[in-house]
Amino acid sequence: MLANERMVRFEYQVQHGDTISVYPAAAGDEPLPADLRFVLDNHLGRLAAYLRMLGFDVIYHPDYDDQVLAEISAGEERILLTRDRRLLMRKIVRYGYCPRSLESHQQVLEVLRRYNLAEKIAPFRRCLRCNHLLELVRKDEVLDRLEPLTRLYYDEFHRCPACGQVYWKGSHYERMLVLIERMRRDQAR
């Protein structure tokens, strides 16, 4: 739905003299960028981590203010996720969504459903800290950074070339797999 050529939601209060255009909600009920990448408001840190865990490209920084978020969304054609509806109403923000839930698991499901992302889930390929794609590294390259038990039990390691964070399939990995499987299942419903 557009009011004066700007995308608005159904809660929009129609003003005298507005030009309203309503389009059918088909498979894609809103304009979408070619690549589904995101920029998240700074109160959505957990959602940012989950989306990165699922392999999605997410810009998130606790210091970014509304103006910066809107400019990144517009300049890089990223979908802006925020619970601040006023921010979504800014003129330059073309792609955006306000998750209804306050709970991060539910927010992930909302985003997966809304953008039909189940098929695009590619876990554990992106740094949870900085969003960069991970690279496989040899164990001896990261040996000095590992705790004794990790050295003993694990042989496959990934590293973030940007921030240096090392990842391996430790105990948290199994928990994440369970979580991802649940999200996939819930998203398919």
Task: Decide whether 51 or 93 has the Cβ nearer to Zn ion.
Answer: 51
- Residue 166's alpha-carbon distances to 36, 60, 68, 119, in angstroms, are 26, 20, 30, 27
133 scored as a contact of Zn ion (CB under 5 A): no
Region near Zn ion per CB under 5 A, out of 99-107, 132-140, 144-152, 170-178? 132-140
Alpha helices in 54-147 (DSSP H): 66-76, 85-88, 104-114, 139-142
Question: What does the alpha-carbon distance between residue 53 and residue 127 come to, in Å, rounded to a whole number?
Answer: 8
3 state SS of 73 = helix
Is 127 an interacting residue with respect to Zn ion (CB under 5 A)? yes
Closer of 28 and 62 to Zn ion (Cβ):
62
Task: Order across the sheet with 6-7: list the strands.
Answer: 6-7, 2-3, 20-21
Least spacing, CB of residue 159 vs Zn ion, in Å: 9
Q: What's the min distance (Å) between Cβ of 161 and Zn ion?
A: 8
Task: Kindly state the number of chain residues that form the binding site for Zn ion, as judged by CB under 5 A.
Answer: 8
- Which residues, 146 to 165, sit near Zn ion by CB under 5 A? 160, 162-163, 165
Residue 76 half-sphere exposure toward CB, CA atoms < 13 A: 16
Nearer to Zn ion, 112 or 160 (CB): 160
Comparison of 95 and 167: residue with beta carbon closer to Zn ion: 167
CA distance 115 to 175: 25
Residues that bind Zn ion (CB under 5 A): 127, 129-130, 132, 160, 162-163, 165
